[in-house]
Amino acid sequence: MKHFFIAFTLTVSTFSLFAQTKTTTSAIVAFDATTALDALPKAENKTAVGMIDTKTGQVGFEAAVNNFAFSNPTIQEHFNEERWLNSAKFPLFTFQGKITNLNKVNFAKDGTYTVSVEGTMTIKDKTNPLSTTATLVVNKGAIRTTAGFSIKLSDYGVDVGTRGKISNEPKITVSADFK
């Protein structure tokens, strides 16, 4: 009986500890590098991993580069090549950050909250600071997050060329549902 009580206490303590961190393996990262000359450099990755810690405000996502799906197979090939994102050598996009105004969010109350997020984005082993706003929708304990921002591909060692068919500053949108 004593061993049962100790095991039960450890299980409850562990559950309480991890209850503040929510994760998903089906976050969506959209990449839009379209220009007036070409509307095709647009892709989605529906298998990104995301996390949010409701106590500390830590947030993050990780997306496999080769899981971005383009409608044009040639663009998808170029996206993964060495000149571009080199998915063989650098397989992941990552973001690690923190909600800076977490005190504005009540995760126990349904509502829509706009928050500020600051952190770092890493692409091709190059890490740069990133600040953005995000929307959190709390509904019956579930959390839906959405954030949009632009990056400069040249800051991450990606050369898009000079033909104007691909934007050097693509729009990236990240959305995730945490239950």
Whether pTM exceeds 0.75: yes
Answer yes or no: is pLDDT of 2 > 50.
no
Q: How many angstroms from the chain centroid is the CA of residue 135?
A: 13
Q: Specify the pairing of strand 171-178 against strand 42-53.
A: unpaired
Q: So what's the pLDDT on residue 142?
A: 95
Q: So what's the pLDDT on residue 19?
A: 56
CATH topology of domain 21-178: Lipocalin (2.40.128)
Encode pLDDT of 122-148 as tens digits: 999 999 999 999 999 999 999 999 999
**How far is Cα 89 from Cα 124, in angstroms, rounded to an integer?**
8
